[in-house]
Structure 1
């Protein structure tokens, strides 16, 4: 069943309003935004020439989330280049929408939604690039009992591997651009 978000149009924040209202991680968020660079000219060319006239981007996010701070700046850059109007729904203010887009049963953000002019959700990305997300997928499938004695230790190990896969620089942003490109090509 297709989810329709037309009723949410205009209820979110513009990318600049989201950044301006951040009470946590604003400097780090801005730093990732400023560090963004195109990994290659063909990817940039795709976004510059994307036919997205009837498409909007709605991002479920919160300033306290490390994955939002790392990934949304790249999403903002991609959407700017593709001229896709973008709106941010702060998760705590839009739990009704968040709960329609759970990741493995949990509220993982960011959730990047591509929405038609009619409000139908036609594409989804998040909360991380697939390569970076793999350790969490493996953890969740192997650790179903939250009361198990090694649950927290295994969760910590999965999070450490996620950070290792993000790496120190902006290389992971290429993964985001490639994955968003694939989504837009299917729409």
Structure 2
């Protein structure tokens, strides 16, 4: 299937937001409080479209997608969403180290050619994740569930409240654009 066909298959921003359950409040908080810096010129992007592989339960999607939405709104870039788990044929073309990390953002031109991609996280976010995950034992450990819940609580708190991470994500996304 071509990237144009994947784009057409995707759901709209409104449908994606309506599907949110697990991280809805945090997603909307970031969306409502992040704005593209007024000094940034996002012109000359009118021939780009965006495909996003995501899942509503994903904490990284909770952080990254509201920022991506503000960027695409400012630049007038059409965007469509595909649930990762229902679109493995496309997802498997964008694995990271052989794993299905999300979100993956694919920028395409009008002919359906990939012109850029981004994801699943900015380097500063990856550093934070790795730092916090050192306290999480392996899944076969009896302490795993509690430690993992604590990790999720900490990371969600940072993603929701620390605007520096919002800016890291935005800056990294901007660097990927043609």
Shorter-chain TM range is: 0.7 to 0.9
Q: What SS does structure 1 have at the residue aligned with 2:39?
A: helix
TM-score by length of 1: 0.76
- 1:42 and 2:35 are equivalent in the alignment: no
Mapping of 1:55-66 within 5 angstroms? 55-66=48-59
Structure-1 separation of matches of 2:25 and 2:13: 15
Instruction: Please report the TM-score for the alignment, with normalisation by the length of structure 2.
Output: 0.79
Whether contact under 8 Å (2:54, 2:84) holds in the other structure is yes
Deviation at 1:176, TM superposition (A): 2.1
SS at 1:89 equivalent: strand
Provide the rounded CA distance (Å) in 2 between the counterparts of 1:74 and 1:86. 13
Aligned 1:113-132 pairs, distance under 5 A: 113-132=106-125
Give 2:135's aligned residue: none
The question of whether the paired residues in 1 share the 8 Å contact of 2:29 and 2:160 is answered with: no
- Structure 1 unmatched ranges of 5 or more: 139-145
For 1:166 and 1:93, the matched residues in 2 are separated by 26
What SS class does the counterpart of residue 19 from structure 1 fall into? helix
For residues 129 and 32 of structure 2, the distance between their equivalents in structure 1, rounded to whole angstroms, comes to 28
Is the 1:132–1:165 Cα contact (8 Å) retained in structure 2? no
Counterpart for residue 9 of structure 2:
11
State whether structure 2 residue 49 is matched by structure 1 residue 51: no
Q: Aligned partners of 2:174 and 2:128: how far apart in 1?
A: 23
* Corresponding position of 1:174: 167
Does the C-alpha gap of structure 1 residues 4 and 131 become closer, same or farther in structure 2, counting only changes over 3 Å?
Answer: farther
Partner of 1:90 in structure 2? 83
Runs of 4+ in 1 over 4 A off after TM superposition: 135-138, 146-149, 164-167
Q: Is the 8 A contact 2:51 2:81 kept in 1?
A: yes
2:98 corresponds to = 105
Relative to structure 1, the CA distance from residue 135 to residue 175 in structure 2 (aligned partners, 3 Å threshold; closer, same or farther) is: closer
- What 5-or-longer segments of structure 2 have no aligned partner? 132-137
- Number of residues paired by the alignment? 167
Q: Equivalent residue for 2:29? A: 31
Distance 1:166 1:9 in 2: 28
